[in-house]
Amino acid sequence: MIIRLTIENFLSFNEKTEILLTPGKSRALRDHVVKGSRSRDIDILKSALIYGANASGKSNIVRAVSFMKKLVVKGVSTNQFIDYAKFKLDQAANDRHSQLEIEFHYKGQNYAYGFIFNNQLILQEWLFTFNKEKDFKIFERTTLVDEVSITFGKLSISKEVEKRLEYIAADTLPNELFLNSSNHRNIFSIKGIYPITDSYRWFEEALTVVFPDSKLTGMEVNMESDMEMKEVYQWFLTELKTGISGLETTLVDFFSHDVNLPEALKNKIAADLKLGERAIISSLDNMRYSLARKENGTLEAVKMMTRHKIKNEERYTLFEMNEESDGTQRLMDLIPAVTELSREEKVFVIDEIDRSLHPNLTFKLFEIFFRESKNIRSQLICTTHESELLNQDLFRKDEIWFVKKNKDGESDTYSLEEFRPRKDRDIRTAYLVGRYNAIPKFSIMEGMPWKSNE
């Protein structure tokens, strides 16, 4: 679970800005707070909603998380630039370095991981564990010109293991994260370095970022069989009253021309799918496929179709997925996310969760998430324009965040809790009339300039 995200000099964020996912003073909806088991532990919120006008920078928060995940898990090629943009509307920002840091909870530990960087170098990098009282250093890294130096702290390791880590540190490239380079050196079996391996695994396995156009990449779901997959979709489609009677599947050859995807992408998806995993993907013509890597290593692919009851008959007919509405297709993308969140220690960061969905459907998805993920250390963080979600019976005040740009084009974040609205206040209406300063504001202009003033 994410505890805090800090962004500085990255895209529209110039000065240091943060999103905090620890509970404030509110006593409402206590089941939205995952409490620690010890007095020194940190309580964490189950969700965050991020509002803002178009181009306010709310999607850049999602891009910052995605950038961190990509740099940790995939890294960069030798001598390749670190591909990102600093804040462009302040010349001084071009001469400053950027910084990203994320605090998160995983497998009983709190971690603070971050780095200071520019397009050429990772200048500093750090990993700490912490509680309410103290921080414990795992490693700190500095880069001077082409030399990477890393010191280690609280690790219960032998001298031999320490030497091995020092060799890996010495081989880490100036534009490469140590968290990336070390976890690509087959270190997972080494005892005593779980803070390094678990931090990497959190980025790789527990954190998922979903953009509005990212459905082609697939979404891994831990479903053991096609029958279970169909049962899960059937449950959601019935619960959400979509009018769809069920899901049918038929075996297909994933590498045939019938599956409308580039060959390179097919190969990548197949290569990334691990034993026992399943992915739901969408083709270029909006068909849906479920891929599974069987225990014997073979790849099984099935096409997903929806079942509809024929009027006044006891028969059903099948619809191709691209015959369904945009909202139903978007729902098919989100069902695996809510399923995972109800089962495992996962974090989903979703940009524009409300895209193509009816407000009541989006509202219901969150209700299902909160209800089904009780006592699970999972978290759902979303950007949205959907004002119907501004409901204090569904969300706590400290779960609602706003992003706005100032006159200099700099994005800033703040929580609804700063406004201290009463529990009985209609926060949706207050938001729409500009009470929280996170909606577009228009000036009154004269007629279109190309029209004649007759």
Distance from C-alpha of 270 to C-alpha of 1, rounded to nearest angstrom: 28
Q: 367: part of which helix (H) or strand (E)?
A: helix 359-372
What's the confidence (pLDDT) of residue 223?
Answer: 55
pLDDT at 216: 42
3-state secondary structure of 45: strand
Distance CA 209, CA 348 (A): 6
The domains of the chain, with CATH numbers, are 1-217+345-442 (3.40.50), 223-342 (no CATH)
Helix (H, G, I), strand (E, B) or coil at 132: coil
Please name the amino acid found at residue 164.
R
Q: Identify the pLDDT of residue 452.
A: 57
Q: How many CB atoms lie within 10 A of CB 14?
A: 24
**Successive 10-residue mean pLDDT values, the chain, 454 residues:** 98 96 91 88 95 92 97 84 95 96 96 96 96 91 89 83 85 92 82 90 94 60 66 88 88 93 90 83 88 88 92 92 89 88 94 90 94 94 93 94 94 91 78 78 62 57
For residues 46 and 40, what is the distance between their CA atoms, to the nearest angstrom? 19
Q: What angle do CA 319, 323, 325 make, to 5 degrees?
A: 120
- Find out whether 412 and 404 touch, Cβ atoms under 8 Å: yes
